[in-house]
Amino acid sequence: MPEESELARLLDKALRELGDAGRTERACQLAAQAYAALEKRDPALAERFTGTLHHLTCAPPDRPGRAAGLAAQEVDR
């Protein structure tokens, strides 16, 4: 696996864990920045972060932690 792909995999994992820990908004901001940085140079790799954004924003019903994290972020505003 090329070095850039490995770094993207690690960033993807970290962003998903950040979102799962209740910092969804920040994780989404960083995922969008990663997408923008890769979009023109490596569109296929950039698409990985589209999947990350979907993971962060589409909470399945069996994952209440993510929904609770979003609710906590709204209270903090």
At 71 the pLDDT is 53
Tens-binned pLDDT, residue by residue, of the chain (77 aa): 578 889 999 999 999 999 999 999 999 999 999 999 999 999 999 999 999 999 999 866 555 555 555 555 555 44
Q: Contact 27/56 with Cβ under 8 angstroms? A: yes
- Closest alpha carbon to 12 in 46, 39, 43: 46
Using an 8 Å Cβ cutoff, are 16 and 55 in contact? yes
pTM above 0.75, yes or no: no
